[in-house]
Amino acid sequence: MPGNVALIGCGAIAQAFYLPAMAKHRSRFGNLWLVDPADKARSTAASILPGHTASHLKEVPDDIDLAIIATPNASHFPLASEALSRGADVLIEKPFVICPSEGRRLAETAAANSRVIAINQTRRLSPITRALRRQIEAGEFGCLMSIVHREGAKQTWPFESGAGFARSAQRTGVIMDIGVHVIDFYHYLLQPSWTFVSAVHDGFEGPEGLAEIEIRANGSPVSIRLSRYFKQDNVARMTFERAEVSFNVYDAKTYSVKSASGRAISVPVKPVGANKETPAEQLLLNFLAASERREPAFCDPASSMPVIDILDEIYRSARRYPATLGYV
Amino acid sequence: MRIVILGAGGFLGGTVCEEIYQRNDIEQLACIRKWASAVRLARRGIEIRRVDLEDRDSLSQLLAGADAVINTSMPPSSREPELATNLYRACDQAGVRRFIQLSSAAVYGDRTGEVSESMSPEPLDDYGRGKVEMERRLLEAANRSTTQLCILRPSIIYGPFSGAWTVRFVERIVRGRWRTLGRIGNGTCNLVHARDVARLVIAAATSDIAPGPHVLNVNGPDVVSWNEYIKRLGDALGIPDRTTPNAVLFFGAAIVAGILRLGSTPKWVRALYRQSNGKAKSVMTSAQDVTLLYPTQGELNLLARKVHYSTERATQVLGLSPSISFVEGVRQSVEWCRIHGIA
């Protein structure tokens, strides 16, 4: 069992995702430290799962075994670097870094210290992801022809801090928030080589809330629209040589497979995990196992870097919508 | 000049902030209730602060140094009169020169014909009653205050980011294939573009205006019916094969939708919906679609009401009139809907 475990960042994701799952497996998480500069966030976290509290990572004893980093995106790299250097295995919330150079340096630091980095790309744990990956790997649908993905709704996430909305915030808009999930999902399914085509977003002088992205997966067109403003079609549609696969991204209990003959079937997906664990429990149990070298992490830097690379290119190359007020 | 905007995370508050953002002579602080509503403002790099109007102690610090305060926040009707009055009093104590409060033409309730500010309010529902009580308390407080009060009563605010009067109508026209609503939609649609409202709000905060409190209607430059609005939106969207629904059948469907709306309110129904799957889910989703497509009883009354809210007084006091025509406003709305994946 690990000794000191630091949960760094006690905001909404810690309160809604990590802490309830850790509470269910309390005995496996040793000496818990709740780390956050905000008093309110720390006290709320402690009401869910009691632990020692600290404002900053430097206040936690040196011998940290595990660090879970659930802070604003731009702080992942410095915090993970510090935790790795202090000998901890780290689990980092998505996106694990905001640019490729940070990702490569983190991977090097982990290797130099013989430490594990795991990343929370939750959609890899979803039953539909696993079911589709199995069928795609088995070649049941043939080669990919195209992808259309529309996802978004009015933002309702209960952010504890406004760090992601500050003018100085880096890469905290819808592309890094939802886009990293979307591209990671397709990357996990298809393992393609990504190329950038075009992108446009409304991050005129701050984090974007709307984005349209055109990329290619092994040469096949991928069209993605993401919004934090209004409900979108919320559909994922993959066209393969022999079938069209689609599902509702917010209610992925079934997916539709339409064959070339036009016949469509609805395929139900079943929960995975030995005891129907929640995705948070699966993730944390996998992190413990990876830390004990019993199994690999569901998502590690090597498998996430192609996603970070293409996201970086999207941000660097994207244009802005015409800034005319009233139109965008 | 420094302006503090409350309710900046909302539709109108966001439009006001974006308009101010274009001006070099105004420094603004945009206040929101929760961070989730910061998306629109944050993209422009506007300074944002989270503010809870229920926390009276925090107001004096917030308002220090402000020349004007614009309150576009929309608390529950039962709390709005007290919260707006508390804020106004805090402005007075902080030495704020002017306070702009957004109210609504809903204060006039079911009145018809040409309606001016001199007519007494006749609210129909809790929303309208809350606005009337808020106005009454503010005007009473203004008698003992050095902060000048300006209350604005906008009508139907449409345009980009208008959930109620643009997005919902576009969705209904697309899904219901409405051409017009026939005799159901013959009432006057008092449309005013959000940017026009924002400009008047800013003028109320910054212009030299006659002393004393003011209560001003805000309405658009064109007088059109709801049917004309629906038809022009549908035409601009390019929706083919639209029809005017049979009024009797439409009313019947609206009643069914109302019953379904009531039926979907209890928590256990919503929980059942979340957990359901397959055909059960499909049936419940269809029921939900019906409730969204058909207007509520309040909306049906609005669609039939023949009323026009006069803006003569606003033009006189502010020296400014709404200028975005109905045709241009609809064009902008549809273009914006396309960009946002709504149509």
Contact A327, B195 (CB under 8 A): no
In this prediction, residues A4-28 reach a mean pLDDT of 96
Q: State the DSSP string of B85-105.
A: HHHHHHHHHHT-SEEEEE--G
Name B203's Cβ contacts closer than 8 Å, sequence gap at least 6. B318, B319, B320
CATH of A124-276+307-320, one of 3.40.50.1370, 3.40.640.10, 3.30.360.10, 3.40.50.970: 3.30.360.10
Residue A203 has phi, psi (to 5 degrees) of -80, 70
Contact assignment for A230 to B340 by CB distance below 8 Å: yes
Specify the pLDDT at position B265.
Answer: 66
Tokens of B310: 């006069």
A276 burial via Cβ count (<10 Å: 0-12, 13-18, 19+)? exposed
β-bridge partners, B146: none
In a domain, B110, yes or no: yes
In a domain, B275, yes or no: no
Which of residues 171 through 200 in chain A touch B, CB cutoff 8 A? Answer: 173
Instruction: Give the Å distances, CA to CA, from A98 to A2, A44, A49, A101, A103.
Output: 29, 28, 30, 9, 8
Question: For residue B19, which residues of chain A lie inside 8 Å, CB to CB?
Answer: 325
Specify the pLDDT at position A321.
Answer: 92
Residue A291 has phi, psi (to 5 degrees) of -65, -35
Query: Which ranges of chain B would DSSP assign to H, the alpha helix?
Result: 11-21, 39-42, 59-63, 80-94, 126-142, 168-176, 194-206, 226-237, 247-263, 267-275, 278-293, 297-304, 312-318, 326-339
Residue A318 reports pLDDT greater than 70: yes
Measured distance CA(B118)–CA(B110) in Å, rounded: 16
Contact assignment for B277 to A268 by CB distance below 8 Å: yes
Measured distance CA(A209)–CA(A227) in Å, rounded: 6
Residue A226 reports pLDDT greater than 80: yes
Question: For residue B22, which residues of chain A lie inside 8 Å, CB to CB?
Answer: 325
In chain A, the percentage of residues whose pLDDT exceeds 90 is 89
In a domain, B175, yes or no: no
Q: Which residues of chain B have pLDDT under 50?
A: none
Residue A251 reports pLDDT greater than 90: no
**CB contact A127 to B (< 8 Å):** no
Shortest distance between the Cα of A137 and any Cα of chain B, in A, equals 27
Which of residues 73 through 92 in chain A touch B, CB cutoff 8 A? Answer: none
pLDDT tens-digit profile of B39-57?
Answer: 999 999 999 999 999 999 9
Specify the pLDDT at position B273.
Answer: 67
Instruction: Fold for A4-122, please state it.
Output: Rossmann fold (3.40.50)
Q: State the DSSP string of A231-257.
A: ----EEEEEESSEEEEEETT-TTEEEE
Question: For residue A169, which residues of chain B lie inside 8 Å, CB to CB?
Answer: 42
Closest-CA residue in chain A for B343? Answer: A232
Specify the pLDDT at position B248.
Answer: 87
Q: State the DSSP string of A162-217.
A: -GGGSTT--S-SHIIIIIHHHHHHHHHHH---EEEEEEEE--SSS--SEEEEEEEE
Tokens of A195: 């190329």
Confidence bin at A2 (pLDDT 50/70/90)? confident
For residue B312, the enclosing domain spans 2-161+189-224+307-337
pLDDT tens-digit profile of A100-128?
Answer: 999 999 999 999 999 999 999 999 999 99
Confidence bin at A200 (pLDDT 50/70/90)? very high
In this prediction, residues A290-295 reach a mean pLDDT of 96
In a domain, B137, yes or no: yes
In terms of average pLDDT, the best of A151-165, A255-269, B28-42, B276-290 is: B28-42
In a domain, B26, yes or no: yes
Specify the pLDDT at position B36.
Answer: 96
Specify the pLDDT at position A258.
Answer: 96
**CB contact A207 to B (< 8 Å):** yes
Shortest distance between the Cα of B290 and any Cα of chain A, in A, equals 17
In a domain, B238, yes or no: no
Specify the pLDDT at position A273.
Answer: 60
pLDDT tens-digit profile of B140-165?
Answer: 999 999 999 999 999 999 999 999 99
What's the whole-number average pLDDT of chain A? 94
* Best CA proximity match to A24, nearest among A49, A5, A43: A49
Contact assignment for B43 to A203 by CB distance below 8 Å: yes
CATH number of the domain encompassing residue B107: 3.40.50.720
* Residue A315 host element (H or E): helix A301-317
Out of B43, B332, B336, closest to residue A208 by CB:
B43
Which of residues 231 through 270 in chain A touch B, CB cutoff 8 A? Answer: 232-233, 251, 253-254, 266, 268
**Number of domains composing chain B:** 1
Shortest distance between the Cα of B247 and any Cα of chain A, in A, equals 30
Contact assignment for A173 to B43 by CB distance below 8 Å: yes
Tokens of B114: 């040409």
Measured distance CA(A304)–CA(A194) in Å, rounded: 13
Measured distance CA(A328)–CA(A60) in Å, rounded: 46
Specify the pLDDT at position B263.
Answer: 72
Confidence bin at A219 (pLDDT 50/70/90)? very high
DSSP state at residue B243: B
Three-state SS string over B156-175 comes to EEECCCCHHHHHHHHHHHHH
* Best CA proximity match to B321, nearest among B330, B332, B312: B312
Contact assignment for A328 to B336 by CB distance below 8 Å: yes
**Ramachandran assignment for A225, one of left (phi > 0), alpha (psi -120 to 50 degrees), beta (any other):** beta
Specify the pLDDT at position A323.
Answer: 72
DSSP state at residue A96: S
The domains of chain A are located at 4-122, 124-276+307-320
Specify the pLDDT at position B278.
Answer: 63
